């Protein structure tokens, strides 16, 4: 009898200990919704757009110059009175200008990507800090990004309004 009682107690002890462990609290956050509502993101986007416009204007000037030189070259191709070395020089100039345009495009793409990352990094950090603060304050075990979660059950709480409130967003 005592052995049976001891076996029952030993068998039930792990279940009692498990029942006393704190329950997990899961939540989701829609980071895209929060990020798009942040006024800092809009300011960063405007700064990025202004820089992109400057690059676009410069690119259009280069294309215009290329178009002009191309027309000049085509006009001289049929002309017998222009020496071949002048024609060859103009072709070389056109090829060099085309190469400069391609190099410019690569530099612009890299610079715009770098600038976008630099402009948005503080905004993203502010959002992550707010998410962490909400997680700590409301004792979430995990907060998942709703944009990457395939399923959120009934026991999952949407913390997006809490994070928006922490950031002072509507």
Instruction: Note whether residue 141 is domain-resident.
Output: yes
Task: Give the chain's residues under pLDDT 70.
Answer: 1-22, 78-79
Instruction: Note whether residue 11 is domain-resident.
Output: no
pLDDT value of position 21: 53
Complete DSSP assignment for 4-42: HHHHHHHHHHHHHHHHHSPPP-EEEE-HHHHHHH-HHHH
* CA 33 – CA 36 distance, rounded (Å): 5
Q: pTM of the entire structure?
A: 0.71
Contact 143, 135 (CB under 8 A): yes
State how many domains the chain has.
1
What is the domain range of residue 30?
19-167
Per-residue pLDDT of 62-112, as tens digits, reads 999 999 988 887 877 766 777 888 888 888 999 999 999 999 999 999 999
Q: CA 150 → CA 35, 36, 62, 146, 153, distances in Å?
A: 20, 21, 47, 8, 10
CATH number of the domain residue 98 falls in: 3.30.910.20
Contact 84, 90 (CB under 8 A): no
| Per-residue b or e along 114-151, where b marks 16 or more CB atoms closer than 10 Å to that residue's CB | ebbeebbeebbeebeebbeebbeeeebeebeebeeeee
> For the chain, what is the radius of gyration of the CA atoms?
32
Picking from 7, 9, 31, 65, the residue whose alpha carbon sits closest to that of residue 149 is 31
Instruction: Note whether residue 78 is domain-resident.
Output: yes
* CA 58 – CA 63 distance, rounded (Å): 9
Instruction: Note whether residue 109 is domain-resident.
Output: yes
Instruction: Note whether residue 7 is domain-resident.
Output: no
Instruction: Note whether residue 1 is domain-resident.
Output: no
Instruction: Note whether residue 45 is domain-resident.
Output: yes
Contact 35, 146 (CB under 8 A): no
Helix (H, G, I), strand (E, B) or coil at 168: coil
Instruction: Note whether residue 111 is domain-resident.
Output: yes
pLDDT value of position 6: 44
């Amino acid at each position: 009898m005592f052995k049976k009682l001891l076996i029952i107690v030993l068998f039930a002890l792990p279940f009692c200990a498990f029942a006393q462990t704190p329950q997990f609290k899961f939540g989701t956050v829609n980071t895209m919704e929060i990020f798009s509502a942040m006024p800092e993101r809009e300011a960063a986007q405007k700064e990025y757009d202004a820089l992109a416009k400057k690059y676009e204007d410069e690119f259009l000037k280069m294309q215009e110059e290329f178009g002009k030189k191309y027309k000049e070259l085509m006009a001289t191709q049929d002309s017998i009175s222009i020496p071949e070395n002048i024609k060859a020089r103009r072709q070389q100039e056109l090829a060099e200008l085309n190469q400069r345009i391609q190099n410019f495009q690569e530099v612009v793409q890299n610079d715009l990507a770098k600038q976008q990352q630099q402009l948005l990094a503080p905004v993203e950090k502010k959002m992550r800090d707010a998410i962490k603060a909400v997680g700590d304050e409301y004792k979430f075990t995990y907060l998942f990004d709703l944009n990457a979660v395939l399923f959120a059950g009934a026991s999952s709480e949407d913390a997006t309004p809490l994070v928006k409130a922490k950031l002072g967003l509507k």
